A and B are shown apart, each in its own frame.
Chain A
Amino acid sequence: MNYDPVQYSRMLTELTLAFHIIFATIGVGVPVMIALAEWTAIKRKDPYYSLMARRWARGFVITVAVGVVTGTAIGLQLSLLWPSFMRIAGQAVALPLFLETFAFFFEAIFLGIYLYTWDRFKKPIFHFLLLIPVVLGSSASAFFITTVNAFMNTPRGFKLQNGAIVDIQPLVAMFNPATPTKVSHVLASSYMTSAFILAAIAAFSLLKKKDTLYHRKALKLTMTAALVFSVSTALIGDLSGKFLAKYQPEKLAAAEWHFDTDKKVPLVMGGILTKDNEIKYGLKIPYALSILAHGSPTAEVQGLNETPIKERPPLYVHYIFDMMVSIGVFLTLLALLYIWAQRRARKHQGRYPRWLLRLISWSGPLAMLGIECGWVYAEVGRQPWILRGYMKTAEGATTSAHVDTMLVLFCFLYILLGLTVIKVLSKLFKNNDVQDELIASGIEGGEAK
């Protein structure tokens, strides 16, 4: 491959974001789950949930650290790799970028306090209250940073005159048409993914160690939350489809291989595309795309042929879109299935079928895969634009001669960080067995040490 700073800049940005998003998603969702657990502990006076919050928080710190450092990396890389883009965007979206750091600051301060004040307050509710700024901060920073991404999809609130940007309206840029659906989809899917990850851990432990009360309680809490969040994610996903049909029809059309503008359009799952843009082997769901796009089975949906060839996104996004949607649907069904099994389990001495536990222990990684797919679809789907309608990606990249070397360096960095996180986390939980901790804190079979 010849040296091409644009190509390498894209690869490096993709790599950093793909790695960061794992930890960012956990960073947004897990505090909500910790808060749920601690709240339940206080409300029911059940020390099991309090231990749950503690154990989750302990692992959470490790992921936060990687989230913080990769977040710093992407923050700096934006300017290093896309200087021309940031010259424009820096003027239009400086406000949300700035606010994001405030939200992060707020979260960082209270997370520090939260982690070091277990047992320091007489009333447990004070410790719980410290978690509220953490939840607000992490969700707010997701909110602000997503408005920046939304701006890149539907740029508003400025004018371009001879390459210079004028008439900036910071709030219009921030609350652009993509903001509502994007932000809510990001938040709901992060909560959902974190719930499934924690559920997967509980299910995995139940599979390995037979029946423990702690893990059954954890499974119940996480799967109930997962059901709520996955249903909301699906509903918001539907709204996102309607947003795309209105504002970025080429993105939706590319995802669905929908070429000719038509009415009563079916939705295609899977399949392959021939050279003449014919779809083979796909599963067609009649009227579904019309419903997804406009909420009516007979509605007209704009096809890809309306978009000039040079402005079309790559067509492989279809597979990625399909994967995201199938994972979402599967996980929602799984959460429903759990509720059914849980009702039944009450009659059968609280045992769950092993196949169900096995499925749930795959749900966490699957949900994360769904997140990655969703972002790849959202980002690749707006190619070739970096600012849709204003600036092509190639015009925003750096001209520096060393991006390829940096790409290799960062590859090594992320491999090293990824492997160490896995090692540290597994060691952390192996060394602190739940049963031992239950006994040590006097919850089960013994006096407090």
Chain B
Amino acid sequence: MSYEILGISVLWIFLYGYLIVASIDFGAGFFSYYSFITGRKHLVHNIIERYLSPVWEVTNVFLIFFMVGIIGFFPDTSYYYGTALLIPGSVAIILLALRGSYYAFSNYGSKDNKFYMFLYGATGLLIPASLSTVLTISEGGFVIEKNGKVEFLFGELLRSPYSWAVVLLSLVSVLYISSMFLTYYAAKAQDRKALEVVRGYALGWSFPTILASLLVFFAINGHNPLHFQRMLDLAWMFVASFLCFLTAVFLIWKRRGYSWAFLLVMLQFAFAFFGYGASHLPYILYPYITLYHNFTSDAMALSLVIAFIAGLLLLVPSLALLMRLFLFNASYVQGTTSKKG
């Protein structure tokens, strides 16, 4: 396998990781606030807090990892995307900053501060929308290079049906992934009442998600037919994704196999996300950056790969420990061990 493919695969895996953990996080923030204003906080707040508290910092790292990695492997991305994304990027930073800090403020500082919870919940829905513009831009048509200057066509982005389809998909899938995870987690915690509430969310958000996915699928055809053609070549992946979706929803509907259901949700998004990614290649930013023309030097690629492997050797056991202590520890999940100091 060439360094280029290896590099982009590693990055794509991390972006997928971010997609899953961040969706759980963003959605949970929204549900937490929503249950608070609808007076059902006592039902679901506990499971949300028990899961999120030890992991909120880790979520952010997936994103930074992807950012730094893509600049390292493909330095030209920082030039094009950096120039183009000043506004959506800054908005995303501000939202992330508000969300991250107000999470800590409301959880460790002033508990039950309505304003803090509102900021935390509302930003959770806006961040996916602002981050998804990067994927939209990567399809081409929104960035042009004139006289050696990169220009970003903001108006085009606002007028494009494709960009709105992506925003819609990011919104509903965040709520879908998150509620599916919370359903699994509530079942594990044997919290019947919470389970009923979040199961309702999960079923409610499942069909909007699949509709939005179809919308994006066809919107790509209108925006970048070449990409759509390549997606059709990988049609089996999208079919597999759809089958995973159907089985997952069926299991939740039948109230059984909650852990399988969440695994299938992860597979559903894995198939769709990697199918999308693979068909996007060789372009990273259509048509300016490809995998092969703007790759970093071999020396740097090699050292990054070595650093990556060394890093994984450190991270995987640590993450396993984190999961064992909090996610898969029955007494912690059920809330019988002591909490923070």
Mark A residues whose CB is within 8 Å of B. Answer: 54, 57-58, 61-62, 64-66, 68-73, 75-84, 86-88, 90-92, 94-95, 97-102, 104-106, 108-113, 115-120, 133, 166, 168-171, 398-400, 402-403, 406, 409-410, 413, 416-417, 420-421, 424-425, 427-428
Contact = CB atoms under 8 A, between A and B. Distances in A.
Across the A-B interface, the 4 shortest Cβ-Cβ residue pairs: A94-B72, A65-B104, A118-B341, A83-B82
Given A95-B307, A115-B340, A58 B64 contact: no
Interface in B19-73: 53-58, 60-61, 63-65, 67-69, 71-73
A77, A97, A102, A111: residue with the most chain B Cβ atoms closer than 10 Å: A102
Contacts of B90: 77, 80, 406, 409-410
Interface of B: 53-58, 60-61, 63-65, 67-69, 71-73, 75-76, 78-83, 85-87, 89-90, 92-94, 96-105, 108-110, 149-150, 152, 296-297, 299-300, 303-304, 307-308, 310-311, 314-315, 318-319, 321-322, 325-326, 337-341
Contacts of B150: 83, 399
B288 to A, nearest CB: 13
A113 B54 contact: yes
Contact of A105 (B65, B94, B109, B340): B65
A413 B104 contact: no
Contacts of A75: 64, 67-68
A113 B329 CA distance: 13
Contacts, number: 229
A112 to B, nearest CB: 4
B103 A168 contact: no
B214 to A, nearest CB: 32
Contacts of B109: 62, 424-425, 427-428
Contacts of B340: 115-116, 118
A108 B79 contact: no
Nearest to B301: A94
A94 B57 contact: no
Nearest to B88: A80
The interface residues of chain B, by DSSP majority, are classed as: helix
Given A65-B103, A170-B303, A410-B90, A110 B338 contact: no
A104 B64 contact: yes
A79, A87, A119, A402: residue with the most chain B Cβ atoms closer than 10 Å: A79
B54 A413 contact: no
B318 A110 contact: yes
B98 to A, nearest CB: 7
Given A86-B71, A109-B318, A400-B152, 12 more contacts: A61-B108, A69-B101, A72-B97, A79-B82, A87-B78, A90-B71, A95-B72, A105-B65, A109-B322, A112-B57, A116-B54, A424-B109
Contacts of B300: 91-92, 94-95, 168, 170
A64 B78 contact: no
Contacts of B337: 120
Contacts of A83: 78-80, 82-83, 150
Contact of A86 (B58, B75, B96, B149): B75
A104 B315 CA distance: 11
A54 B86 contact: no
Nearest to B73: A94
B86 A115 contact: no
B58 A105 contact: yes
A333 to B, nearest CB: 36
A119 B338 CA distance: 7
A120 B310 CA distance: 30
Nearest to B322: A109
11 contacts: A66-B104, A79-B81, A83-B82, A91-B300, A102-B310, A113-B325, A116-B54, A169-B299, A170-B300, A403-B86, A409-B90
